[in-house]
């Protein structure tokens, strides 16, 4: 990674030309590099205290959701904000352009292209229950941590992809390296995130090929995606939305990568679940207090008909890019650190949030001044960090000029 960083810093934007070639550079076999083998999550029943229960999935107002969609369909973030794509590319190229990630992008694209050539095979003879069971078994064999199935929803599909095939979205989740993530914010943690992204893509492409071989259309989405991944993950019962704006899974909090597949396979859809996460966030608020730039609000508001914590991206994004991915809000989350089962057990016994107030959970080393900040202190972040990226987060229509840097497939 250090070598790729140096190469791309030297070549600058010219390096974009070599991306396809780089995706063919051999990478270290999994068996030699893996310190954190993927684990498949068990579906153990959680005991959620009654006072933490709110609603399965996310609280929403269906009428307002529909009105927002009719008024203003969604676009993917980088199409809407090409200046952010350029900013991210400028600083993160060395992380993104590893042969492993590029190979994953190429394989996802290859699997997406192949689906159009497939004819009907075994699919007509399989029942929904059979294809669902076989898809879950294959996902486990491939080493995905969890998968779930949700109905495709035009409201959460980016308007660039409305022609997408199939009525089902398969949500593929892979857990990210535990030890490396606890070092966030750092180069080590950022590398773990991109590595996990590449591995998720590889497995998602293989799961798509599996369905194609059964005779179904199965289109894996690129890293940027064709819809809101968190929405589908919540609808598939794989987690709930945390105050940090991310999907919190019971097993690993937001220490995960999510990728989607659109398919016409007749899969049995999962349902949203109340894991007690929304109630827990209200009691916890650790990420709100520990975010170095105060980008996480204390409470949720209705946004496009969905009750959610709206992260201040004008403050967050420059920090993510300049402070080694930041991810303080992932690192300090007790669900990420200890898993929801332990957090709920401690809450049931004591009424307290496991780890809250401790340096182990809340402390972090800040890469911009190389100092450690314990639970009672946060770094000072200079205003100059925010001046380079000028974008309007309230924009609802893409500007005329595209970004021309479609590096994520």
Which residues bind to ligand SF4, rule: CB under 6 A? 242-244, 248, 280-281, 284-287, 291-293, 295-296, 311, 316, 319-320, 326-329, 332-335
Task: Give the residue from 30, 43, 17, 49 showing the smallest Cα distance to 353.
Answer: 49
With tokens 């308007």, the residue in question is 159
- For tokens 């349902």, what's the residue? 271
Nearer to ligand SF4, 261 or 319 (CB): 319
Helix axis angle, 2-11 to 82-96, nearest 10° = 130
Name the residue nearer to ligand SF4 (CB basis): 259 or 295.
Answer: 295
Shortest Å distance, C-beta 300 to ligand SF4: 11
Instruction: Give the nearer residue to ligand SF4 in terms of CB position, either 67 or 299.
Output: 299
Q: What are the φ/ψ torsions at residue 354 (nearest 5 degrees)?
A: -55, 125
The span from the CA of 82 to the CA of 300, in Å, is 28
Least distance CB 233 / ligand SF4 (angstroms) = 15
Closest to ligand SF4 by CB, 98 vs 244, is 244
C-beta of 4 vs 364, nearer to ligand SF4: 364
Strand order from edge to edge, sheet including 256-263: 146-151, 168-175, 256-263, 218-220
Comparing CB distances to ligand SF4, the nearer of 341 and 406 is 341
CB 221, min distance to ligand SF4, A:
23
Cis peptide before 185 (omega within 30 of 0): yes
What is the nearest approach in angstroms of ligand SF4 to the Cβ of residue 48?
Answer: 14
Q: Give the integer Cα–Cα distance in Å for 188 and 180.
A: 6
CB of 370 to ligand SF4, least distance (A): 17
DSSP output for 112-153: HHHGGG----GGGG--HHHHHHHHHHHHHHHT-SEEEEEE--
Q: How far is the CB of 223 from ligand SF4 (least distance, A)?
A: 18
Q: How far is the CB of 205 from ligand SF4 (least distance, A)?
A: 28
Q: Which structure tokens are listed for 203?
A: 């497995």
In angstroms, give the least distance from the CB of 244 to ligand SF4. Answer: 4
Task: State how far the Cα of 322 lies from the Cα of 359, in Å rounded to an integer.
Answer: 24
Please give the Cα distance from 328 to 22 (Å, whole number). Answer: 31
| Cβ closest to ligand SF4, residue 269 vs residue 310 | 310
Q: Judge whether 171 and 148 are in contact, CB under 8 Å.
A: yes
Helix (H) or strand (E) holding 384: none
Of 95 and 216, the one with the shorter C-beta distance to ligand SF4 is 95
Residue with tokens 């000072």: 380
Q: How many residues does the chain have?
A: 409
Q: Left, alpha or beta for 237 (phi > 0: left; psi -120 to 50: alpha)?
A: left
Q: Which is nearer to ligand SF4, 147 or 287 (CB)?
A: 287
In whole angstroms, the minimum distance from the beta carbon of 107 to ligand SF4 comes to 29
Q: Nearest approach, Cβ of 334 to ligand SF4 (angstroms)?
A: 6
Closer residue to ligand SF4 (CB): 7 or 368? 368
Nearest CA to 249 out of 259, 261, 240 is that of 240
3-state secondary structure of 247: strand
Q: How far is CA 323 from CA 88, 97, 185, 228, 235, in A?
A: 12, 19, 7, 25, 32
Rounded to 5°, the CA angle 8-12-15 comes to 65
In the complex, what is the shortest distance from the CB of residue 81 to ligand SF4, in angstroms, rounded to a whole number?
16
Nearer to ligand SF4, 165 or 285 (CB): 285
């Amino acid at each position: 990674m250090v070598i790729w960083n140096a190469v791309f810093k030297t070549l600058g934007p010219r390096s974009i030309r070599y991306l396809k070639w780089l995706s063919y550079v051999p990478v270290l076999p999994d068996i030699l590099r893996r310190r954190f083998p993927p684990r498949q999550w068990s579906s153990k029943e959680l005991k959620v205290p009654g006072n933490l229960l709110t609603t399965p999935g996310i609280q929403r107002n269906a009428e307002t959701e529909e009105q927002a969609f009719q008024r203003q369909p969604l676009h993917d973030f980088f199409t809407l904000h090409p200046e952010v794509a350029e900013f991210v590319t400028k600083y993160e190229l060395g992380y993104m352009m590893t042969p492993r990630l590029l190979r994953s992008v190429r394989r996802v694209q290859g699997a997406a292209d192949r689906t159009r050539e497939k004819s009907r095979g075994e699919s007509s003879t399989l029942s929904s229950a059979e294809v669902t069971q076989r898809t879950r078994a294959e996902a486990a064999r491939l080493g995905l941590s969890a998968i779930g199935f949700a109905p495709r929803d035009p409201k959460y599909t980016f308007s660039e992809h409305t022609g997408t095939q199939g009525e089902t979205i398969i949500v593929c989740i892979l857990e990210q390296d535990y030890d490396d993530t606890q070092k966030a914010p750092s180069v080590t943690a950022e590398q773990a995130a991109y590595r996990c992204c590449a591995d998720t893509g590889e497995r998602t492409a293989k799961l798509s090929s599996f369905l194609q071989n059964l005779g179904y259309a199965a289109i894996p989405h690129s890293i940027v995606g064709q819809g809101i991944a968190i929405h589908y993950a919540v609808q598939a019962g794989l987690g709930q939305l945390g105050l940090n704006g991310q999907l919190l899974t019971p097993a690993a909090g937001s220490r995960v990568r999510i990728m989607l597949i659109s398919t016409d396979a007749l899969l049995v859809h999962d349902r949203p679940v109340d894991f007690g996460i929304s109630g827990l966030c209200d009691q916890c608020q650790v990420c709100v207090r520990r975010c170095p730039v105060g980008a996480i609000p204390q409470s949720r508001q209705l946004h496009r008909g969905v009750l959610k914590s709206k992260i201040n991206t004008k403050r967050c994004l420059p920090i993510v890019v300049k402070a080694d991915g930041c991810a303080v809000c992932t690192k300090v989350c007790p669900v990420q650190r200890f898993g929801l089962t332990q957090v709920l057990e401690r809450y049931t016994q004591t009424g307290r949030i496991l780890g809250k107030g401790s340096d182990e959970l809340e402390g972090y080393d800040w890469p911009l001044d190389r100092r450690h900040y314990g639970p009672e202190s946060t770094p000072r972040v200079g205003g100059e960090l925010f001046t380079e990226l000028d974008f309007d987060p309230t924009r609802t229509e893409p500007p005329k000029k595209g970004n021309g840097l479609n590096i994520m497939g």
